[in-house]
Each structure stands twice: as structure tokens, then as C-alpha cells.
């Protein structure tokens, strides 16, 4: 895949939703720039991510090697879950046999099961998601009663058991980052941290209707997966 920019400042943007729930509902919107070379410097990438306002925007710098660069409003990220699942999904649908992606944090294995509408998976190290703190609430009702981010600084993953024996969790993600998204619809990196802490597979129900599947992987890694649904392709000024 080698999409060309429409002009010197207009580029192609794909928008997908990652970690969709039953029937394709929910999911965290993601912006994907398939021609990362069209936006070569970090300042322009950050400005575009800020303007788009998605929880993350990912730039594919080398489709062949899977090299990507990830931005949230107000911050460049060495690793994040839903941009990697979304980027791998898009690359596969251009005919590339994606087996992994390369982030600043390190190489990430990537695969898909279940055919065209299957679940996309990545395998990563939980320490790459450092800085995201989890906090267990006593009940789902207590968690749902939050009318916004709790007071405090730093990324907070608030959660409660929906069904502990079955590994079903209700979660809400609060980046608490200046200028960023107040509440994240679905957060792969934070789900990786929670899975590493609990040491068991989870079905994480986050946001309005999103579903994140996780399981411990080999060598202390965690595997995180979810369904991707396309939204639109358009051109934007960068």
C-alpha cells in the first residue's frame, strides 16, 4: 500500500472503530494515516492528532516492516493498543500479510482470527503500558455513578467485576491528560495492565458498548483483541 497525498497538505485518513461489541456497536474511533511519509515531522503529526480529537491517531511509516507512530491529543505515545489493532486490520485489507508492527516501545506481534469480521489480536509487554493505574470499585453501580474523571493526576482505569468467575469486567478509562479525551471508549493498553495484575483472561466491557478480550501470553506478555469496524475514508489537511 502506497497511497499518495492529494496535495501538499491534503492526506488520506481512514477512520475505524476498534474493540466493537456485539453487532458492531461501540468501539473506540481511531484515525489512521496510511501514508505516514506525507506528514514527516512530529509537530505536524501532533497538531493533526490534536485537531482530529480521536483518543489516538496512528501514522503508518513503513507498511512493509509495520513501523507506526502513535499520537493522542497532547501527547506522543510509545505504545497503545487500539491503534495497533486498527493499523494491522487496515494493512491486511490492502493485501499485506501483517504478522507484527514496530512501535517505539518495541516489536508487537499481530494476527487475526475468524475471517473478515474476526478478532484482531496483538501481543505486548505490560510494562509498555506503564503509567496507567488501575482501581477496583466495590460494585458496577458505584463505577457507573462516576459523572467524570475522579480527582487526581495520571491515567486511571477504574473497574469492577460484572461476573468474577467468568472473568467479565466493567471498566471506565480516564486519561486525565491536559487537553485530551476526558473518558476513553476502549483502552487496550490499560486492559493489558489489568490482565497482568489479575493474571487471567478477561472480557472487558468498557465505555458505551465496547468489548476488549484479553489473555495472558507467553513470557510475561499479554494478548489483547477486539473487532474492528470501518467508518469512513476522507481527506484532511495536515
Query: What CATH number is associated with residue 132?
Result: 3.10.310.10
What's the pTM?
0.93
Same domain, residue pair 84 and 137: no
Q: What is the structure's pLDDT at 178? A: 80
Cβ 85 vs Cβ 189: under 8 Å: no
- CA–CA separation, 193 vs 215, rounded Å? 11
Same domain, 92 and 29: yes
Grid coordinates belonging to 166: 467468568
145 and 216: one domain? yes
Specify if 112 maps to a domain.
Answer: no
- Cα atoms found within 13 Å of the Cα of residue 178, Cβ hemisphere only: 0
**pLDDT tens by residue, the chain, 238 residues:** 454 434 568 999 999 999 999 889 999 999 999 999 999 999 999 999 999 999 999 999 999 999 999 999 999 999 999 999 999 999 999 999 899 999 999 999 999 997 656 799 999 999 999 999 999 999 999 999 999 999 999 999 999 999 999 999 999 999 998 877 899 999 999 999 999 999 999 999 999 999 999 999 999 999 999 999 999 999 999 8
Claim to verify: residue 100 and residue 186 sit in the same structural domain: no
Query: Could you tell me if 12 and 233 are in contact, meaning their C-beta atoms sit under 8 angstroms apart?
Result: yes
Are residues 21 and 67 both part of a single domain? Answer: yes
On whether residue 220 sits in a domain, the answer given is yes
Residue 121 inside a domain? The answer is no
Residues 186 and 233 in one domain: no
pLDDT at site 194: 98
What CA–CA distances, in Å, run from 31 to 50, 145, 156, 235? 11, 30, 23, 11
Which pLDDT value is given to residue 156?
97
Measured from the Cβ of residue 153, the count of other Cβ atoms closer than 10 Å reads 9
DSSP string, the chain: -----SSSSEEEEEEEEEEE-GGG-EEEEEEEES-GGGS-SHHHHHHHHHHH--SEEEEEEETTTTEEEEEETTEEES--HHHHHHHHHHHHTTT----EEE-SS-EEEEEEESGGG-EEEEEE-GGGGTTEEEEE-S-HHHHHT--SPPSSSSEEEEEEEEETTTTEEEEEEE---TTS-SSBS--HHHHHHHHHHHTS-EEEEETTTEEEEEEE-GGG-EEEEEEEEEEEEEEEE-
pLDDT at 9: 82
Q: Are residues 185 and 232 in the same domain?
A: no
Q: Are residues 233 and 208 part of one domain?
A: no
Other C-beta atoms within 10 Å of 167: how many? Answer: 18
Instruction: Please indicate, yes or no, if residue 114 is contained in any of the structural domains.
Output: no
Range of the domain at 25: 10-105+228-237
Domains: count for the chain: 2
Residue 120 lies in a domain: no
* 189 in a structural domain: yes
pLDDT for the residue numbered 6: 42
Judge whether 68 lies within some domain: yes
Residue 202 and residue 232 in one domain: no
Q: Which residues contact 115 (CB under 8 A, 6 or more apart)?
A: none
Answer yes or no: do 74 and 137 share one domain: no
Task: Check if the beta carbon of residue 171 is closer than 8 Å to that of residue 193.
Answer: no
Residue 118 lies in a domain: no
Position 8 scores a pLDDT of 64
Q: Are residues 34 and 61 in the same domain?
A: yes
Amino acid at each position: 500500500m502506497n497511497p499518495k497525498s492529494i496535495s501538499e497538505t491534503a492526506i488520506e485518513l481512514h477512520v475505524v472503530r476498534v474493540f466493537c461489541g456485539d453487532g458492531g456497536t461501540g468501539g473506540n474511533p481511531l484515525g489512521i494515516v496510511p501514508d505516514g511519509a506525507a506528514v514527516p515531522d512530529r509537530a505536524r503529526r501532533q497538531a493533526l492528532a490534536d485537531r482530529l480529537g480521536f483518543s489516538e491517531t496512528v501514522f503508518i511509516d513503513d507498511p512493509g516492516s509495520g513501523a507506526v507512530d502513535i499520537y493522542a491529543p497532547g501527547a506522543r505515545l510509545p505504545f497503545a493498543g487500539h491503534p495497533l489493532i486498527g493499523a494491522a486490520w487496515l494493512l491486511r485489507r490492502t493485501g499485506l500479510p501483517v504478522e507484527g508492527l514496530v512501535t517505539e516501545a518495541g516489536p508487537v506481534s499481530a494476527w487475526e482470527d475468524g475471517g473478515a469480521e474476526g478478532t484482531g489480536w496483538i501481543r505486548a509487554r505490560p510494562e509498555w503500558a506503564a503509567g496507567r493505574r488501575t482501581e477496583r470499585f466495590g460494585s458496577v453501580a458505584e463505577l457507573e455513578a462516576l459523572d467524570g474523571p475522579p480527582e487526581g493526576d495520571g491515567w486511571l482505569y477504574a473497574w469492577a467485576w460484572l461476573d468474577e468467575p467468568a472473568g467479565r469486567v466493567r471498566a471506565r478509562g480516564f486519561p486525565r491528560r491536559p487537553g485530551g479525551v476526558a473518558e476513553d471508549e476502549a483502552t487496550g493498553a490499560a486492559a493489558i495492565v489489568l490482565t497482568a495484575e489479575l493474571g487471567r483472561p478477561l472480557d472487558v466491557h468498557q465505555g458505551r458498548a465496547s468489548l476488549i478480550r484479553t489473555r495472558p501470553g507467553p513470557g510475561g506478555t499479554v494478548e489483547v483483541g477486539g473487532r474492528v469496524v470501518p467508518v469512513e475514508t476522507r481527506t484532511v489537511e495536515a
